[in-house]
Amino acid sequence: MLHVSPMKSGSKQAFVLRRRFEFLGALLFAALIPWAGLRWLITDPTFDVNAYHNSLIANALAICMALWIRISVSTYPGIRSGQIIIPAIVAAHATMITLLLLSRLPYHRPSLAIGFLLHLIWAYGIYFFVQRRVRPRIAIIPVGGVKKLTKIPNVDWYPLQRPDLGEATHCTAMVADFSANMPDEWEAFLADAAVDGRVVYQVQQLSESLTGRVEIKHLSENSFGSLAPARAYMAIKHLVDFAWAFAMLPLALPVMAVCAVAIRMYDGAPVLFRQKRVGRAGKDIIVYKFRTMRLASDLDPEDRQAAMTGDGDVRITRLGHFLRRTRLDELPQLWNILRGEMSFIGPRPEAHVLSSWYTSEIPFYRYRHVVRPGISGWAQVNQGHVAEVGEVHEKLQYDFFYIKYFSPWLDLLILFRTVKTMLTGWGAR
């Protein structure tokens, strides 16, 4: 998501749009007010005053952490900042409460609860009355390959007519194609803009940021270098995936048992669906899911059509529709995660027959296997289920964006949007 950075206009609107205003307001409204207001209501002489101060510190740190999470996650496209307010604030306050419990420090429950509620009220108040009403206005330097940007929605594009900073006064940022052969007057204009503190984006990075896709038809050797994921985070993520999968087993196993019994009662055996798919480094893996389709005795494992699931597929059972919509059919893939074959977040593993077909039809397709496949991914939360080559071409652009910007913040954003997908059923087949 593109940050709206106010120009030096000195207006009240520019002031209230600043993160500094939101942060200081949250500290006053959700940390200092509960601390100052409730302290006079405590009449118990045996009450530990340190508990009250610890709660103030915890609320303040939660405000800092929540804003940090929101800023880090909102740099990625495809989500409005309002969608991550609740997850970020809940995660931050829950973390602080957990630290208080683990450290055995005294704390004041009413202060923590009121601070949490006021934090939510303040954040949503700023969002609904200020941030949501602002639409970014970006000035375009009319040289090189910048025309494609005007097709991207939710931005007011303003092509500049002449190299004059005054013409771009009311724009939140500028964009230019630095690889183009730019006339001297426009180069001087960009230099003046940088000296004046204006935000200037490069056309490719801005396009990727707004669309969440990497244009694979323009990939080069330099592109592959920039698409190399961070190995350190990849190793850490693998350990975190294993720990979370193991920790989820006590909760997941009873749910899986209910699903298995329901499938056996209503649709018969087998309960599980096993399919050979392509994992990291192009290695074949067996992916497990709860069976959601009717059995076909004459099914050919090399039949591309049989490996695809289309809209309103008649093979899907009534119970299967529910399992797919709620994503409960994916629960057996915890076993794939424990075996190190998959991750919670990553490009979806394709059936072997489809992967072979896509590789023959789409350039660079096999490069998506550089990371572990996941139960949910960037393409799934943006595009939903696809099967045709044309759609897979766009899906691959999303996958390459994930690999290029591989980070815990992007994974967190995908997790937030996956929860929303599970609740709404969007993208299910």
Q: What is the pLDDT of residues 33-70, one digit of tens each?
A: 877 776 666 555 555 778 888 989 999 999 999 988 88
Q: Which of 180, 211, 242 is the last residue of a domain?
A: 211
Residue 267 included in any domain: yes
Average pLDDT over every residue of 81-99: 86
Element (H, E) at 82: none
Whether residue 224 has pLDDT greater than 90 = no
Q: In this structure, what token pair is assigned to residue 139?
A: 């000035």
Whether residue 106 has pLDDT greater than 60 = yes
For residue 81, give its domain range.
12-133
Do 189 and 41 have their domain in common?
no
Q: In this structure, what token pair is assigned to residue 377?
A: 């991914």
Residue type for position 211? T
Whether residue 241 has pLDDT greater than 90 = yes
Tell me, what CATH number does 152's domain have? 3.40.50
Of 10-24, 199-213, 231-245, 401-415, the one with minimum mean pLDDT is: 10-24
User: What is the reported pLDDT for 59?
Assistant: 93
Residue 236 included in any domain: yes
Do 297 and 381 have their domain in common?
yes
Do 176 and 263 have their domain in common?
no
Do 356 and 385 have their domain in common?
yes
User: What is the reported pLDDT for 297?
Assistant: 54
* Mean pLDDT estimate for the chain: 82
Positive or negative, the CA dihedral 91, 96, 99, 100 is negative
Residue 7 included in any domain: no
User: What is the reported pLDDT for 278?
Assistant: 92
Residue 218 included in any domain: no
Q: From CA 236, how far away is CA 406, in angstroms rounded?
A: 12
> In whole angstroms, how far apart are CA 11 and each of 134, 171, 212?
14, 14, 32
Average pLDDT over every residue of 111-127: 90
Which burial class, exposed, middle or buried, applies to 278 when counting CB atoms under 10 A from its CB (0-12, 13-18, 19+)? buried
289 bridge partner residues: 273
User: What is the reported pLDDT for 95?
Assistant: 92
| Among 20, 106, 24, residue whose Cα is nearest residue 58 | 106
In this structure, the strands spanning 284-290 and 272-278 are antiparallel
Q: From CA 317, how far away is CA 267, in angstroms rounded?
A: 8
Whether residue 221 has pLDDT greater than 80 = no
User: What is the reported pLDDT for 304?
Assistant: 57
Q: From CA 343, how far away is CA 357, in angstroms rounded?
A: 24
Q: Which of 161, 177, 211 is the last residue of a domain?
A: 211
Q: Which of 211, 242, 270 is the last residue of a domain?
A: 211
Q: From CA 319, how far away is CA 352, in angstroms rounded?
A: 26
Whether residue 301 has pLDDT greater than 60 = no
Do 384 and 270 have their domain in common?
yes
> Where do runs of H (alpha helix) occur along 10-133?
12-17, 19-27, 33-38, 49-73, 85-103, 109-129
Average pLDDT over every residue of 353-369: 80
Cβ(341)–Cβ(288) below 8 Å: no
Do 305 and 415 have their domain in common?
yes
Do 239 and 348 have their domain in common?
yes
- Tell me which DSSP letter residue 350 carries: P
Residue 182 included in any domain: yes
Element (H, E) at 286: strand 284-290
Number of domains in the chain: 3
Do 42 and 21 have their domain in common?
yes
Q: For the chain, percent helix, then strand, then coil, each to nearest 5?
A: 60, 10, 30
Cβ(383)–Cβ(398) below 8 Å: yes
Do 186 and 243 have their domain in common?
no
Residue 8 pLDDT level (bands cut at 50, 70, 90): very low
Do 278 and 416 have their domain in common?
yes
Residue 66 included in any domain: yes
Do 391 and 282 have their domain in common?
yes
Residue 65 included in any domain: yes
Do 331 and 348 have their domain in common?
yes
Residue 285 included in any domain: yes
Q: Which range in 83-87, 101-105, 188-192, 238-242 is most confidently predicted, on average pLDDT?
A: 238-242
